[in-house]
Amino acid sequence: MTPAAQLTAVMKTLADPTRRAVFERIAAEGEVAATGLVRGSKVSQPAISQHLRALRDAGLVTERREGRHIRYRVAPGGLAPLVDWLGHYERFWRERFENLEKLLKESD
Q: Which is nearer to a second copy, 22 or 74 (CB)?
A: 74
Cβ distance 18 to 51 under 8 Å? yes
Under the rule (CB under 8 A), what is the footprint of a second copy?
A: 4, 8, 11-12, 14-17, 20, 27, 74, 76-80, 82-84, 86-87, 89-90, 92-93, 96-97, 100, 104
Helix axis angle for 17-29 and 3-15, nearest 10°, is: 90
Q: Which stretch binds DNA (CB under 7 A): 43-51, 73-81, 90-98, 99-107?
A: 43-51
Q: By rule CB under 7 A, what count of residues binds DNA?
A: 28
97 vs 25, 71, 77, 105, CA distance in Å? Answer: 24, 33, 20, 12
Q: Is 67 left (phi over 0), alpha (psi -120 to 50) or beta?
A: left
Can you give the binding site for DNA, defined by CB under 7 A? 12, 15-16, 18-19, 33-35, 38, 42-47, 49-54, 63, 65, 67-71
